[in-house]
Structure formats: structure tokens, C-alpha cells
């Protein structure tokens, strides 16, 4: 296997009762994550970013389930390739938090208010290592210093509700990195924070990346965050990948009208924009997708063909894929007739 993680044809079903067929929340997702790569997943709310990553962590639960024909292969620490979707529950628990870990948008909901910061960091070490209590405490302290928490010794004894949002997110990063995972999934790690703290956390993540061999999947709705942290990006829209390319190509050779809309809504880049642009309309609800392009109702370039058939994801330049009839080749257009 060439990549650290290979996702193929991932779909996620939402069950709605025994007599009703499941709704596909995401479908046909192919992603490759390389070693030490920073991979961005961007898209508006409800496009399927979080559930896609939860499926990597084995965290989907009823009424959600991974669809037939999906595959997520992962290169383990011991050199073997593992199909994560068929891994027994116990082995998945051993891998989670050790080889793959995750940072969530709301640290307060991920931390237990009843336990001190030390207890929560140590818990992760206890599950995955056989270090003594004092060695675990030492490792926790060192980790807090690495995430630049001042007065680390005192903070170890604190409870989560005594810390600010920015500090809590640093603690979450410390917990996520303490076992030196091969893959770190950061699900909107900065959206709950104010702008200055956001920038500090992104800087911290960039710095830490240099000293760890970890690949990062950064989930965000903001292409500005992608520009600051990632090399490769997949744009999600209504449960599909609509564009995938290097960050450079996404910004300088944008192909999909949805990506162009996202770029125009970025506030954190450049200074010329006076008014915040928003793409008109809303993301369609899963189960009510039209038979053509899912972006059709919001797209300025929509033609009759766009409403007739789903555009395929095609290569518009080496390493740059786009799902839009404007960029499909003649053969693909012919095949869809």
C-alpha cells in the first residue's frame, strides 16, 4: 500500500425503520492520505465531513452504518495493512487513541468534568502503555509543556471547567498526541475559539507537526484554515467529493463553482473584501438529492444537462479532480447521454 490511509468508495447509510430503505448520507468517497501529510476536508455544515472521519475511527453507531462495498485501509505501526472496517471491536479500541486519534470542535464535551487534566492524560497512556504512574505523570507534564501550557504542573491538578477554551483545546491536542499517533483527525479544532486563539492553536499544530511523524486530517468549513495548515484538500458537498487537489491548485486553478463560492466567502485571507459573501441557497438534505448535480440549485453556471445526470469526478489536470459538467471530457458527456 502506497499511502498511510486509503479510503475507497465509502458510503454511509442512515437507517429510518425496517420498511424504509436507508438514505445515503455520503457516497463514493475516495481519499488517499500520505505519511506526514496534512490533508484538509472542507465544506459547509451537513456535507458529511465529520461522519466520514468518524467512520475511520470506527465511531459510527446506529442509525448510521458504513455501506456495502466501502473500504478503509490503514498502514499499521507494525507495517501491516489493515482493513479498518472489518477490524474486531477490541482491536479497533486498541488502535483508537494510539495509532489514530481525534481532536473535536468542543473540548468541553470530550473531556470528563469529574476528572483532573492529569487523570485524563494518564488514562490515555494507561490504556496503551505499561508505564508506571510516575512515568505517566512525567510524560503528561512534558506533553503539556510541548503544547505550551503555562504553569503545567498546576494545570495538571485542575479540572476542565477551570480552563479557558484555548487551554482546553491545547489539553485535547496533548491527549491526542501523547501516544504519538500515525494519524490525527482534527474536527474543526478552532471554530469554537476567538480569532486570536484560533491562530495560536493553528500555529501550535503546525509546529508540533514538525516534531511528530503524524499525518493530519484537518476538517473545517473555512478555506482560510486549509491555506494555513494543509498541502492537499478534498472539497465535500452534499455527501460527495466535488473537487480534490493540492492546496495550491485549489486556490490558483479553482475548477468547481462550489469551491469558487467557498473561496469568495473566506474572510481570513487578504484584506480587500468588504462584505462577507455567502453562496445563495442551502445544502440539500440527504434523501432529497436531485437526479443531476447536487449543486445545481445554487450554481450560476447550471445548464439543462446539469439537472439530468450526476457529473462524474474527473481529472482536470494531473492530481486535480473535479465533479462538474463544465470540466468533463467529451467522452464522459457522451457516456452520460
Residues in the site for ligand SF4, rule: CB under 6 A? 257, 293, 295-296, 299, 301-302, 306, 311, 324-326
Q: Which of 116, 118, 117, 76 is nearest to 98 (CA)?
A: 76
Q: Measured from the CB atom, is 48 or 311 closer to ligand SF4?
A: 311
Look at strands 100-103 and 81-83 and give their pairing: unpaired
Burial 53-73 (b: 16+ CB within 10 A, else e): bbbbbbebeeebbbbeebebb
Residue 14 neighbours by CB under 8 Å, 6+ apart = 22, 23, 24, 25, 63, 64, 286, 287
Does 48 contact ligand ATP by CB under 6 A? yes
Look at strands 5-14 and 71-75 and give their pairing: antiparallel
Among 10, 47, 95, 173, binds ligand ATP (CB under 6 A): 47
Q: What share of the chain is helix, strand, coil (3-state, %, to 5)?
A: 35, 20, 40
Among 37, 50, 54, 55, binds Mg ion (CB under 5 A): 50
> Which residues in 259-318 contact ligand ATP (CB under 6 A)?
286
Does 221 contact ligand ATP by CB under 6 A? yes
- The CB-side HSE value for 171 (13 A sphere, CA atoms) comes to 30
Q: Measured from the CB atom, is 161 or 337 closer to ligand SF4?
A: 337
Q: Measured from the CB atom, is 48 or 292 closer to ligand SF4?
A: 292
Shortest Cβ 256–ligand SF4 spacing (Å): 6
Shortest Cβ 324–ligand SF4 spacing (Å): 3
Q: Measured from the CB atom, is 93 or 260 closer to ligand SF4?
A: 260
What does 311 bind: Mg ion, ligand ATP, ligand SF4, none (CB cut-off 5 to 8 Å by kind)? ligand SF4
Rounded CA-CA distance 105/180 in Å is: 21
Does 54 contact Mg ion by CB under 5 A? no
DSSP string, 38-56: EEEEE--TTSSHHHHHHHH
Q: How many chain residues are in contact with Mg ion, going by CB under 5 A?
A: 1
What does 295 bind: Mg ion, ligand ATP, ligand SF4, none (CB cut-off 5 to 8 Å by kind)? ligand SF4
Does 52 contact Mg ion by CB under 5 A? no
Q: Say how many residues make up the chain.
A: 337
What does 14 bind: Mg ion, ligand ATP, ligand SF4, none (CB cut-off 5 to 8 Å by kind)? ligand ATP
Among 5, 7, 25, 122, binds ligand ATP (CB under 6 A): 25
Instruction: Tell me, rounded to whole angstroms, the distance of Cα 334 from its chain centroid.
Output: 35
Residue linked to cell 492520505? 33
Shortest Cβ 31–ligand SF4 spacing (Å): 21
Among 5, 6, 38, 49, binds ligand ATP (CB under 6 A): 49
| β-strand partners of 320 | 317
Rounded CA-CA distance 81/10 in Å is: 18
Binding site for ligand ATP (CB under 6 A): 14, 25, 43, 45-51, 63-64, 221, 286
Amino acid at each position: 500500500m502506497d499511502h498511510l490511509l486509503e479510503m475507497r468508495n465509502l458510503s454511509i447509510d442512515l437507517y429510518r425503520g425496517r420498511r424504509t430503505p436507508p438514505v445515503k448520507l455520503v457516497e463514493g468517497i475516495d481519499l488517499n492520505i500520505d505519511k506526514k501529510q496534512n490533508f484538509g476536508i472542507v465544506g459547509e455544515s451537513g456535507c458529511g465531513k465529520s461522519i466520514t472521519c468518524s467512520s475511520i475511527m470506527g465511531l459510527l453507531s446506529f442509525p448510521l452504518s458504513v455501506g456495502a462495498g466501502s473500504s478503509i485501509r490503514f498502514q499499521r505501526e507494525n507495517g501491516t495493512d489493515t482493513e479498518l472496517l472489518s477490524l474486531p471491536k477490541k482491536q479497533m479500541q486498541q488502535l483508537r487513541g494510539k495509532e489514530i486519534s481525534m481532536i473535536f470542535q468542543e473540548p468541553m464535551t470530550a473531556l470528563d468534568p469529574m476528572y483532573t487534566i492529569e487523570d485524563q492524560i494518564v488514562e490515555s497512556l494507561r490504556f496503551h502503555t505499561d508505564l508506571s504512574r510516575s512515568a505517566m505523570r512525567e510524560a503528561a507534564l512534558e506533553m503539556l509543556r510541548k503544547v505550551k501550557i503555562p504553569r503545567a504542573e498546576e494545570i495538571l491538578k485542575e479540572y476542565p471547567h477551570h480552563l479557558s477554551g484555548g487551554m482546553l483545546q491545547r489539553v485535547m491536542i496533548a491527549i491526542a498526541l501523547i501516544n504519538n499517533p500515525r494519524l490525527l483527525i482534527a474536527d474543526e479544532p478552532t471554530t469554537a475559539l476567538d480569532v486570536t486563539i484560533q491562530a495560536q492553536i493553528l500555529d501550535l499544530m503546525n509546529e508540533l507537526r514538525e516534531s511528530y511523524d503524524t499525518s493530519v486530517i484537518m476538517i473545517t468549513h473555512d478555506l482560510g484554515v486549509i491555506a494555513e495548515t494543509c498541502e492537499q484538500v478534498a472539497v465535500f458537498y452534499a455527501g460527495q467529493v466535488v473537487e480534490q487537489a493540492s492546496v495550491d491548485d485549489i486556490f490558483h486553478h479553482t475548477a468547481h463553482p462550489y469551491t469558487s463560492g467557498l473561496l469568495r466567502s473566506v474572510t481570513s485571507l487578504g484584506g480587500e473584501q468588504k462584505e462577507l459573501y455567502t453562496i445563495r441557497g442551502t445544502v440539500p438534505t440527504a434523501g432529497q438529492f436531485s437526479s443531476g448535480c447536487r449543486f445545481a440549485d445554487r450554481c450560476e453556471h447550471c445548464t439543462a444537462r446539469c439537472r439530468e445526470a450526476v457529473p462524474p469526478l474527473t481529472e482536470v489536470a494531473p492530481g486535480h479532480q473535479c465533479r462538474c459538467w463544465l470540466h468533463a471530457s467529451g467522452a464522459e458527456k457522451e457516456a452520460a447521454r
